Amino acid sequence: MFFNTHRVLVCALALATVSAGTLIAQDDLINRASFTAEGAVELPQDIRRWVYVGTPLTPNALNGGEAPFPEFHNVYVEPSAFDHWSATGTWADGSQIAKELVMIQTDEGTDPETGANAQVSGVGYFQGDFVGMELTVKDSTRYTDEPGNWAYFSFGHSGQPYAATAKAFETDSCNSCHEANAADDFVFTQFYPVLRAAKPTQ
């Protein structure tokens, strides 16, 4: 009996220590982006192993034939930033979120009007080739002047290989639209079911 109680106590203490440590050190545990000496961000190597959170799609057929981003937008959150989001519902300093653009698949059967394909599961849109990669990084030390401290990058929009590094865009090119329209601290969580589900309820 004594031993069991003792063991429970030790476990409880260990857990309390771990969670207190986690709370204090949370920002320090974020895996940050790498930068060149000139201040360009380096293309993260393992984006497709980050946490996949959703795929908005704005096809040409529904945007007068000229959608600014007619491809699938596969969005991935760096895992430590995802853990912080799940624990707090906020974006930690150092958070990284990537968006990979993927062409809609076409073949000889593609409907010229809708751009859709008929496949065994039905008529619709299926992912084709990778065509572009973008990244946003929240960094209060590097981007003191950017609203929300978020900077935005593109590693190209014309297929692979992507550029190895990218310079931050001007605030008006990217940040302003995110600031005005995104649901959670410049991030469009309203379009990512995995982030909506992971957000803690207050």
- Residue 14: CB minimum distance to ligand HEC, A: 37
Q: Is 47 in the site for ligand HEC (CB under 6 A)?
A: no
Residue 194: other Cβ atoms inside 10 A: 16
Q: How far is the CB of 31 from ligand HEC (least distance, A)?
A: 16
Q: What residues between 102 and 121 interact with ligand HEC by CB under 6 A?
A: none
- Say if CB 133 and CB 112 are below 8 A apart: no
Tokens in use for 172? 């008006």
Peptide bond connecting 161 to the previous residue in cis, omega within 30 degrees of 0:
yes
Residue ranges of E strands in the chain: 41-42, 51-54, 72-77, 96-104, 117-119, 122-124, 127-138, 150-154, 165-166
Q: Could you tell me if 146 and 170 are in contact, meaning their C-beta atoms sit under 8 angstroms apart? A: no
The nearer residue to ligand HEC, 119 or 160, going by C-beta atoms, is: 160
Q: Does residue 92 interact with ligand HEC by CB under 6 A?
A: no
Here the tokens at position 171 are 């605030």
In this complex, which beta carbon is closest to ligand HEC, that of residue 71 or of residue 83?
Answer: 71
**178: amino acid identity, one letter:** H
Residues 170-199 within binding reach of ligand HEC (CB under 6 A): 173-174, 177-178, 182, 186-188, 191
With contacts defined by CB under 6 A, how many residues of the chain interact with ligand HEC?
Answer: 22
What's the length of the chain?
202
> Which position among 75, 92, 116, 198 is part of the footprint of ligand HEC (CB under 6 A)?
75
Give the residues lining the site for ligand HEC (CB under 6 A). 56, 58, 73, 75, 97, 99, 134-136, 152-154, 169, 173-174, 177-178, 182, 186-188, 191
